[in-house]
Amino acid sequence: MVAAGKDTASYIEKVKKDLGRSRTKDFSAHNSKAHCVAWNCTGKYIASGSLDKTAIVQSFKDERLSREFSLKGHEDAVDQIAWHPSDPNMLSTVSTDKTLRLWDIRTPQKTVACITTKGEVINMTWKSDGSTIALGNKDDLVCFVDYKTHKIISDKQFDFEVNEIGWNNTDQHFYLTSGNGSIHITEYPSLEPLLQIPAHTAHCICLKFSPDKQHFATGGADALINIWDASELSYLTSYSRLEWPVRTLSFNHDGRLLAAGSEDLVIDIAFVETGEKIATVSCNAFPFCVAWHPSQNLLAYVTDDKSKHNEKHSRDSDKSTGCVKLFGL
């Protein structure tokens, strides 16, 4: 559980002070807007995927990102990107071209494997032991890919809208957020239903587990963010400071901060135990994806090209097309 009392108060005071004086810096990555961003397990590298059909890997050192590799092979936009949970050199990408590609950044000029997916994938996640990749597509089909054999080992068609997916803290259960506002918990690997938890009054869009998987958070079309105890499956807190549907979530390295993005022109950073606001990151366009560094309070994010809400920002937004942004420097 998260510490209480004086420790909590001093933690909140420190992160508010540190993040309150932090700045955001843009780092060029793509020729078109970036859709996704993720750190590897060590925090040495960050990867982003884009409408320009590439994934770009950059190294992080001395508060700067430096471009290292361009991963080419997809024939359409790279929509999702995820690193292996424990191997810092391996990552996966999925594209509108209906393929999953595996990459080893030590040999970036070629893919390790290219797997044709069943439909257009909108969500991807790794099992914590790195053995399996789960993919969810636009037609509510979830399939599982064996990392070693590069084969689809199972799949299941659901009769409800499936949004974000993920394994729980023991990897024995598999979670799906749904269009009816619920969290569906299934047995893994059978995917037999175990429990359905009402979570939101509208579509439940996103799901993220804390690094220790003791907590998880959900975001919905009702603009609510809910935080849960993963062991007890009990509700901890809920808050709503965003006005638009919550589409991206990320826990920081110690699991005590949660970043959330929507079509609002801000990223909200909250204290997990209470939902208290810690910081707000102003954006020139709405954030597609947020991702905390695995060991520092450093938040990476990518945004749309141009604000749909405030045209006065459009010129600045266009200048940062395809950039990866870092907050916390």
pLDDT digits (tens, 9 = 90+) for 63-87: 999 999 999 999 999 999 999 999 9
pLDDT in tens, 160-215: 999 999 999 899 999 999 999 999 999 999 999 999 999 999 999 999 999 999 99
pLDDT in tens, 183-193: 999 999 999 99
Q: Which long-range contacts (CB under 8 A, 24 or more apart) does 138-147 make?
A: 142/176, 142/191, 143/117, 143/118, 144/189, 145/100, 145/115, 147/84, 147/102
Banded pLDDT at 317 (limits 50, 70, 90)? very low
Q: State the DSSP string of 147-216.
A: TTT--EEEEEE-SS-EEEEEE-TTSSEEEEEETTSEEEEEETTT--EEEEEE--SS-EEEEEE-TTSSEE
pLDDT in tens, 274-303: 999 999 999 999 999 999 999 999 999 999
Banded pLDDT at 147 (limits 50, 70, 90)? very high
pLDDT at 320 over 80: no
Alpha helices, DSSP H, located in the chain:
5-20, 314-319
C-alpha distance from residue 208 to each of 59, 150, 220, 251, 271 (Å): 25, 25, 12, 7, 15
| Cβ-based neighbours of 75, under 8 Å, separated by 6 or more | 53, 95, 97, 99
Q: Taking all residues of the chain, what is their mean pLDDT, rounded to a whole number? A: 94
